[in-house]
Each structure stands twice: as structure tokens, then as C-alpha cells.
Amino acid sequence: MRKYITSIILIFIGLYLVFITLNSKNNPTYSETAFAEEASKFDKAFDQFTSEVKETLVTIKSNFNYNLKTKDSVQTRGYLLDQLKQNNPINSIGFFQGQYKIVARNKNSSYLFAVDSTAEQSVVKWQRFEGEKLISSWYESFEQSVYNTPWFQELMSQKNKIKWNLGSRIELDNPVDDLEYFYVGYSYLVDSLETAIVLEFSKNELFNKLKITSKKIYPRLSFMNLTGKELHINTEKLYHSGDSLNQSIGVDSLQINIKRHFSNFKDVPEGTFNFNYKNQIYWNSFKRLPQDSGIQYYLYTIPNNQLTSANTLVLDKFGLWIGLGLMMLGSIILFIKKEFFYIPNRMKIPSAEEILKEEENRYLEFKSSLRWDYRQEKVNPELEKVIMKTIAAFGNTDGGILLIGVDDDKNILGLENDFQTLKRNDADYYEVHLRNILHKLMGVKYVSKYIRTEFEKVEDEKLICKIKVIAAKEPLYLKYTNKNGQIEEKFYVRSGNSSHEIKSIAEINDYINTKFK
């Protein structure tokens, strides 16, 4: 069975490789179509994301639509926490109204919440909650935060506009690294009080949502906010070299070339173009967005070599030959004799514990002893013939295992009584005696090729003998000398859980012709 499974698997894989190779040649994937597919996926994800951001801002604004509602910290905390749960990429929500500032931040199993009425934007009192339980509280004084950046000041000065920014801050529970975040802000007036909402997005969570990277594709993303500030992300650097955000948003020579070529499409609302830079083709997709999104445009760039993967090139070159080779190998295996697949394991004898889980059957038999007759309580040489008969029957059929020292009810008797009938009372001499009988009746060559023996201690340190017989490739006759001194040949096979002699010459010949030829 094993060889057929191996053969079928190889042939199937070969057929599959041949099919996809021929199909790819008949229906080639061009770089521009591959890029169009990637750009379309990004465009849909980005449009959905910007719509969700706008919807979240509108929802929060509608909740905080009158003066001093922020004083109700319990209700506010519950509301902002629900918003964090509903919007997975959002890492924190900040709300500012007059001197009041509120920040809710998701921290895995806990969350941080701050309500403050001080005039100092750089000071905030934090509280950590698990569910409704207050765990701890402390003040934090910022040397620099998003709330006292030029971007935030500009946000507060321009009402009813969505503004984007890119920045970094040190994470409270991970103070070693600066972590990168996107910020989206919106400001408005409530009863003449300046009010603002700031959403903070984790870069990694946002990239996962936008599906901006894969195992093979690491695009560049550029976009311009409403004030004309360009934000650049080089995902290949971020994912491969661990560069900080400040490095990743820097303008390198490639970014300068992207911008220069993009300037040729000032009056085009959206489209695709490519250009050559340092012997590499770069594909670009751009789209100018509605003003209420807070973004003027985005520009999405992928190098051509990431669109045509190395795996595809190998498949195009060698896929057909590899597939044909696997099909040929699978076909050859069909004609290899099945014994070839069992060579490593066919001589191995399972443990007694594993064997004794089974009852006697076509492949398994238990014998109490080799020489000692438990019924007559004396040595009985005829028992040796019974052992030989079982071994010969296994060899002439499909092989099997014989345990000596175990009765029909699987009681462990051991070999001690057999040992007492020999010149030396040990397993080594027992095996010598057993092999002498086997060699005499079956021949050294047959025994060496098809029969293995092992001894194992089981219950109460009792020793048993395990004999494994492999299905032979040639028929075996046992030769005995009868009472008249004549040599008789007997032919045994397994039938069910016992061994039987075939006496008819015609039946023996028919069996041999079927089994061995």
C-alpha cells in the first residue's frame, strides 16, 4: 500500500506542476496586470479605512456635542473604551475641550484613561483599569508629545478639517523603543470652546488592516495632508532593517525620483505610471481624494522585481521538466517490488506490550514454551515441531510474529522452564538451540534472510522470546524423518489464527504458482 500511495502522490504533484506551467505559459501574467491587482486591493482597503476614520470622528463628535460633558468621567470612560473595542487599529483616543483633556488608550488586558482639567497640556494624570477595577494611577509630564507639536497647534487653528500626521512616542510598557504611530485629528467649536478629537493608530495594526505588505511585496506609500505636508513610508526598511520612523520618512534619492515623475500628472485625478531608476522599473498608482478625507492624494509604489517573484521564474523555466520527472518517478515506483519500501522497518520487532494488545490472528501466535510441556509437566520434543510449523506457515503466507513464553490467554509464563531443560540455563544458549533447529529444518540461508529473534523481559522480569518471520519469496518445506526412517516434506500455511498443512500436491502447486510466481 505504501508504494502505491507514494506513487500516486508523485504523479499527482507532477501533473499539477505540468498543468500550472503550461497554463502560465498560455496565460502569462504581465507586470502591469500584477501591479493593477495589488494597487486595486490597496485602493479598496485605503478607501474603506479613510471612510471608517471619518465615521469614527463624526460619531465621537456627536457624543461630545455640548459643553462640559467631559466632567462625567465614568460615562466618558465607558464610551471611549467601546470606541476602542469597535475600531481595532485605533490605539488611543484623545479628546480636548477648553482646559479639559481626556485620553483613553488600549493596553491589551487593561486600558489607560486620563481626565485632567489643568491648563498644562504637557501634564496628564493616568489611571489603569482592568474592567471596572482601578489598578493604579500616576501623573505624567511630557517633554514632547503630539499635543504640543506644530501639527496639533495647526489642527486647533483650522476648524472642521481632518488632519493627518506621522510621529513616534515611547510606549509606557516598552520604554526601550520609539514606536511609530499615525495621528488623525479634527477640531471644532462647542459653545465657543475649542474642541478637538485625536485618533492614534498603531503602524503595525494599520498595515495589517490595509494589507500593505506580504511575504514578497514591500511597497512605498506616500501621501500629502491638506496643509501640503508629505508623509512617506518605506515598508521594506521598516520590516527588514528595523529602521526607526524618522529614517523611514526621510526622503531618499528614489523618493525624489518618484515625486519628480508624479509631478507630470498634476491634472490627472488617478492613474498608473512607471519609470526606470538604476536599472529597475518602479510601478506607481496614485489617487486624489476628497478634501473631507484629510488627504490630498496617496501614491503607492512597488518595484517590478517584487511583482515577478523568483518562484515564478523557476516555475516557468523548470516547472514542466520537474513535473514530467515526478510523473516518471511515480510510474517507476509502481513497478518496484513492494518489499523495497519496507526494508528499514520489516526486521523491527514491536515491544511485547504493543504485541500483547492484539489477540491471536493470521499474523500473531502465542506459544507457552519450546520444549517444556505444561500439561504433562515434562520435556516434550514434539513441541519444537509445533514451533517450526508455525514459523514455516508464517513464511509461506504473509509473515507474522510468534511469542514463546506466553499462553493462549496472554498470561506471561516466561522461559525459565525451557531453560531448565537445556545444558545451560540462559537466553544465549536457548537462542543457539533454537537456531540449530531452524537451520536444520529450513537452512541457514532461509533463516538468515527471513527470521529474526529477540528476548524481552516483561511482567515480574520474566523473559520471553519474540520471533518475527518475514513473508518469504520462495516456498519452504519442512523435512522430517518418520518412524520408518524416511524423509517427509510438509508444507504449512496460515489460515485464520492457526497453521495448517496442505497435503495435496496439486493444491500445493496451485498455491505456489499463485503466491511465489
Tell me what the mean pLDDT of segment 394-419 comes to.
Answer: 93
Q: pLDDT tens for residues 205-261?
A: 777 777 666 657 788 888 887 777 777 777 765 544 443 333 444 468 888 899 899
As a whole number of angstroms, the distance between CA 13 and CA 196 comes to: 60
Strand order from edge to edge, sheet including 123-130 = 133-141, 123-130, 110-116, 100-107, 90-97, 193-202, 174-190, 162-171
CA pair distance 235, 412, nearest whole angstrom: 69
Cα dist from 314 to 111, 285, 319, 375, whole Å: 50, 28, 7, 74
CA 364, CA 355: separation in Å to the nearest integer? 8
What integer is the mean pLDDT of 54-79? 76
How would residue 177 be classed by pLDDT, with cut points 50, 70 and 90?
very low
Shortest CA distance to 155 belongs to which of 116, 119, 121, 206?
A: 121
pLDDT of residue 26: 61
DSSP one-letter code for 267: T
Q: How high is the pLDDT of residue 388?
A: 94
Whether residue 288 contacts residue 297, with contact meaning beta carbons closer than 8 Å, is answered with yes
- pLDDT the model gives residue 27: 59
**What radius of gyration, in Å, describes the C-alpha atoms of the chain?**
41
Angle in degrees, CA 270, 272, 276, rounded to 5: 140
Are the beta carbons of 215 and 235 closer than 8 angstroms? no
Give the model's pLDDT for residue 176: 41
Rounded-to-5 percentages of helix, strand, coil across the chain: 40, 30, 30
pLDDT in tens, 432-450: 999 999 999 899 999 998 9
pLDDT above 90: percentage of residues in the chain: 31
Task: Please report which confidence band the pLDDT of residue 391 belongs to, taking 50, 70 and 90 as the band edges.
Answer: very high
Mean pLDDT of 501-516: 90
For residue 288, the SS3 value is: strand
Whole-number average pLDDT of the chain: 81
Sheet with 220-225: list strands edge to edge. 230-234, 220-225, 295-303, 280-288, 270-277
Q: Average the pLDDT over each of 188-202, 324-338, 468-482, 485-499 and give the range with the smallest value.
A: 324-338
Per residue in 267-314, pLDDT tens? Answer: 899 999 999 999 999 999 999 988 878 888 989 999 988 886 544 555
Q: How much is the average pLDDT of 162-186? A: 67
pTM of the model: 0.52
Q: Please provide the DSSP assignment of 205-223 as one string.
A: HHHHHHT---SS---EEEE
Domains of the chain, residue spans: 1-56+310-339, 57-307, 348-515
CATH topology of domain 57-307: Beta-Lactamase (3.30.450)
Whether residue 458 is predicted with pLDDT greater than 50 in this model: the reply is yes
Interatomic CA distance for residues 140 and 145, integer angstroms: 11
Give residue-wise pLDDT tens across range 348-381. Answer: 888 999 999 999 999 999 999 999 999 999 999 8
- Name the burial class of residue 213, with classes exposed (0-12), middle (13-18) and buried (19+) by CB atoms within 10 angstroms of its CB: middle
pLDDT category at 168 given cuts 50, 70, 90 is low
Compare 33 and 173 and report the one with higher pLDDT.
Answer: 33
Q: Are 270 and 263 in contact (CB under 8 A)?
A: no
Assign 73 a pLDDT band (cuts: 50, 70, 90): low
The CATH superfamily assigned to 348-515 is: Schlafen, AAA domain (3.30.950.30)
Cell 518602479, located at residue: 282
Distance of CA 327 to the CA centre of its chain: 28
